[in-house]
Amino acid sequence: MKIVVLDGYTENPGDLSWGELEKLGDLTVYERTSYVESPLIAERMQGAEIVILNKTPISRKTIDQCPALKLIAVLATGYNVVDYAYAREKGIPVVNVPTYGTASVSQFSIALLLEVCHHIGHHSESVHAGNWAGNIDWCYWDYPLIELEGKTIGIIGFGRIGQAEGRIAKALGMNVLAYDLYPNDSGREIAEYVDLETLFAGADVITLHCNLTPENTGMINREAISKMKDGVILINNARGQLINEQDVADALNNGKIAAAGLDVVYTEPIKTDNPLLKARNCIITPHISWAPKESRQRIMDITVENVKAYLAGAPENVVNR
């Protein structure tokens, strides 16, 4: 049985092993194939029963060109790069990795918030540049420093990751508000569930941890921002398409949003004309919340189990039943 990994580099740049997958079939791993529609994708999939990918797109046309294809496994939670509806029509299950990043993504969200509050990276660079050695005072700071205890965080999307972040925020002494389409009892132990308008009006910090849907695309826009506190902090390491980037950039530049910490943008890699690149007080990191080795090892382990489940005739984590 032939197994092909189309874009394995970001999952495993060399610090993990493909060994467990090699035990399950004739494995070929490509570091990168294409992140846009390309004839090369179908070419590399030829004869493969199982195809594993992260961000390489699998379209209807590609599926039709690969008659041996029986399983598509995504090395991530999001699976929008696959035409999963057409795969279902063809009887091909698409499986994902739903819960690998709870700890790493919630931790990174708080890290973005703490960087906004203290600008640790900037001040370290300033010290190394000689600015402390040449300063007449025993200390200095170039940005306002913010204490989080007693402030209110509003978390939009209160599933596993949102609740993990909520627990960290409570440990920092913050009040926690949450908005979710499906409130549950475990969430009520951490936060007060409120509607979006109440969250916008009451939160000093707003973080996003919701799935991307047609209904919430661009939800952080000019109208939503107008309902927020002056000087709110915005954190997004969920999906870049949740925010209207121009509206957020405008709000940063006029001070309505005091600062933003972003690990995702609308189009990735980021375009050089993205308005957020020139916005005031905007920290942007290159979509790395998910990437600690421990998190990527869980992706590898769950993907192996997904393939084993398919081979046993009982696929798990199927997103297109």
Residues carrying CATH 3.40.50.720, the chain: 2-100+293-311, 102-284
Using CB atoms within 10 Å of the CB of residue 59, give its burial: 0 to 12 exposed, 13 to 18 middle, 19+ buried. middle
CB 68 within 8 A of CB 49: yes
Closest CA to 233 of 270, 191, 283: 283
Q: Mind listing the pLDDT tens digit for each residue in 34-87?
A: 999 999 999 999 999 999 999 999 999 999 999 999 999 999 999 999 999 999
Which H or E element spans position 297?
helix 293-311
What CA–CA distance (Å, rounded) separates 88 from 77?
18
Largest Cα–Cα distance of the chain, in whole Å?
Answer: 73
Q: Mind listing the pLDDT tens digit for each residue in 210-260?
A: 999 999 999 999 999 999 999 999 999 999 999 999 999 999 999 999 999
Q: Mind listing the pLDDT tens digit for each residue in 133-187?
A: 999 999 999 999 999 999 999 999 999 999 999 999 999 999 999 999 999 999 9
User: pTM of the predicted model, to two decimals?
Assistant: 0.94
Q: Mind listing the pLDDT tens digit for each residue in 3-38?
A: 999 999 999 999 999 999 999 999 999 999 999 999
Tell me whether strands 71-74 and 2-5 are parallel, antiparallel or unpaired. Answer: unpaired
* Mean pLDDT value of segment 86-97: 98
pLDDT reported for residue 288: 98
> How would CATH label the architecture of 2-100+293-311?
3-Layer(aba) Sandwich (3.40)
Q: Which residues are catalytic?
A: 239, 268, 287
Domain 102-284 in CATH: superfamily? Answer: NAD(P)-binding Rossmann-like Domain (3.40.50.720)
pLDDT reported for residue 56: 98
